[in-house]
């Protein structure tokens, strides 16, 4: 899975145009979100095929500013503090979480500054390690 960071104009219809470009190319969004900060639109969306998604967007003049591999985790929603625990494990390993959101299967999607170190933490989490 790939996270694409997408620059969107801060105006009505910009998100619709992005969705239409993807839909016309037969590409589904698997998770993500879009925000306006300091008057600028930025979106992070998850795709199974980042190359095709990028191509579809750029063909319509929509700027993709980054394409990155993601870590995918499942948190125990019945146990408070899960986000804090996994975030602390990442921090203790020297990994900065740059983007976080959920996908359509309620999995946690993490975009980190050091994928290799983040993958080690992610693998430990999957094995039940919570330190």
* Cα 77 from chain centre: 20
Given a contact cutoff of 8 angstroms between Cβ atoms, the answer to whether 3 and 68 are in contact is: yes
State the pLDDT at residue 76. 87
For residues 107, 125, 49, 2, the Cα torsion angle rounded to the nearest 10 degrees is: 90
Average pLDDT of the chain, as a whole number: 96
For residue 19 the two structure tokens come to: 């969705």
Q: In what helix (H) or strand (E) does residue 57 lie, and over which residues does it extend?
A: helix 50-59
Mean pLDDT of the region 49-71: 97
Given a contact cutoff of 8 angstroms between Cβ atoms, the answer to whether 100 and 110 are in contact is: yes
Angle between helices 82-92 and 115-126 (to 10 degrees): 140
- Ranges of H-type helices in 1-131: 14-24, 50-59, 82-92, 115-126
pTM, rounded to two decimals: 0.92
Name the CATH code of domain 2-69 (choices 3.30.420.40, 3.30.2130.10, 3.40.50.300, 3.30.110.60).
Answer: 3.30.2130.10
Domain boundaries, the chain: 2-69, 71-126
φ/ψ of residue 39, rounded to 5: 80, 5
Of 5-9, 78-82, 95-99, 120-124, the poorest mean pLDDT is in 78-82
């Amino acid at each position: 899975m790939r996270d694409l960071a997408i620059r969107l104009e801060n105006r009505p219809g910009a998100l619709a145009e992005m969705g239409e470009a993807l839909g016309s190319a037969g590409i589904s969004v698997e998770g993500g979100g879009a925000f306006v900060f300091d008057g600028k639109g930025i979106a992070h969306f998850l795709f199974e095929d980042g190359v095709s998604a990028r191509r579809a967007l750029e063909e319509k003049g929509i700027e993709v500013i980054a394409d990155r591999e993601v870590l995918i985790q499942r948190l125990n929603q019945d146990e408070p503090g899960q986000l804090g625990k996994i975030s602390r494990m990442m921090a203790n390993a020297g990994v900065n979480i740059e983007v976080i959101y959920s996908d359509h299967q309620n999995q946690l999607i993490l975009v980190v500054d050091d994928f290799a170190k983040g993958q080690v933490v992610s693998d430990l989490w999957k094995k039940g390690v919570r330190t």
